[in-house]
Copies of this chain bind each other. A is one copy, B any other.
Amino acid sequence: MTAQTNQNQRIVLASRPVGAPLDNNFRLENTDKPVPAKGEVLLRTIYLSLDPYMRGRMSDAKSYADPVAIDEVMVGGTVCQVEVSNNDDFQVGEWVLAYTGWQKYALSDGEGLLKLGTDPAAPSYALGIMGMPGFTAYMGLLDIGEPKPGDTIVVAAATGPVGATVGQIGKLKGCRVVGIAGGEEKCRYAKEELGFDECIDHKAEDFLQQLNNACDKGIDVYYENVGGKVFDAVLPLLNTGARVPLCGLISQYNATSLPEGPDRLSMLMGTLLVKRIKMQGFIIFDDYADRYNEFAADMTVWLQEGKVKYKEQIVEGLDNTVEAFKGLLEGKNFGKLVVKVNQPL
């Protein structure tokens, strides 16, 4: 898996997926390992984060960030070590959080790198529970969801890095937490390990009935990260004054055809109106960058005290990245999906 010392390897976007991404939408390229100029560092990718939002960057539809250009390296958050340094601010072996994408090596002038120290205890956590997914869970739930003790919170993708964190913070705040996940194993984990009150398998035939039973006092906070049939099931259960932080719509990212059925837009807006519901989209670092320290302080304590648990699924090797990402959009991962790209120095 480790590249030759004089070689870089990278995955570029070869064409834009229509529907689910296919292997031929990507191309693995071997190039020369780049050489840092004065003031630059050579970053050795140790961990690459895979996240659902990346599907959006593969499309050229207008979104909150520019799409990845064809033949360009796929973007993504990474945890790297400095392998060569021509920059006095960085020493060889130092760990950093970067955004260098799907490749083994990258150059940086230091701009935008977040230092993680020379011997971090769990460097990959910076891509998950202590990073974007954890921060997204925390701010969306607490700032937009405004959970109160006794509230019923529903969150889908309940064992993913966002959903698992939302649910565990909800429990810490005294709420009843109902998760939704794909398959019995994930549901059992959510209840037994994460402490959710209930977790419903959305593949079950009586999913709707189970959700209704689990939410017999309605839903006060629906943390939305999937959309689609889960949202349709949740909508009629929302209580007056409910809050819907809108964090993602995973189920829609590969969608190309229209759902059938009644006028869902009018149903949504009528429900928001009549029940005085707040629905609010957010993009974590755009909306809440100045509150990262508040999150990090809380989460550090919760992890140390064992009040929040965190599960990773680590895939070995850059050449398994595309397969892992395809699985992510189908819910095949179990825990935060991270690719181990190189061995640490």
**Residues of A that sit less than 8 Å from B by CB:** 56, 62-64, 224, 227, 231, 240, 246-249, 252, 255, 258-259, 262-283, 286-287
* A272 contacts across to B, CB distance below 8 A: 246, 279-281
What is the oligomeric copy number?
A: 2
Complex: how many Å from CA A183 to CA B22? 52
Known A246-B269, A268-B268; judge A258-B252 contact (CB<8 A): no
* A240 contacts across to B, CB distance below 8 A: 64
Q: Is the interface of A mostly helix, strand, loop or mixed?
A: mixed
Q: In the complex, how many angstroms separate the beta carbon of A56 from the nearest chain B beta carbon?
A: 8
* A231 contacts across to B, CB distance below 8 A: 269
Are A280 and B277 in contact, with the CB atoms below 8 A? yes
Are B286 and A281 in contact, with the CB atoms below 8 A? no
Are B281 and A274 in contact, with the CB atoms below 8 A? yes
Are B286 and A270 in contact, with the CB atoms below 8 A? no
Known A64-B240, A240-B64; judge A252-B266 contact (CB<8 A): yes
Complex: how many Å from CA A289 to CA B202? 41
Are A64 and B280 in contact, with the CB atoms below 8 A? no
Are A283 and B278 in contact, with the CB atoms below 8 A? no
Q: In the complex, how many angstroms separate the beta carbon of A135 from the nearest chain B beta carbon?
A: 15
A-B complex: 6 closest residue pairs judged by Cβ atoms: A264-B265, A273-B281, A278-B280, A272-B281, A258-B263, A265-B265
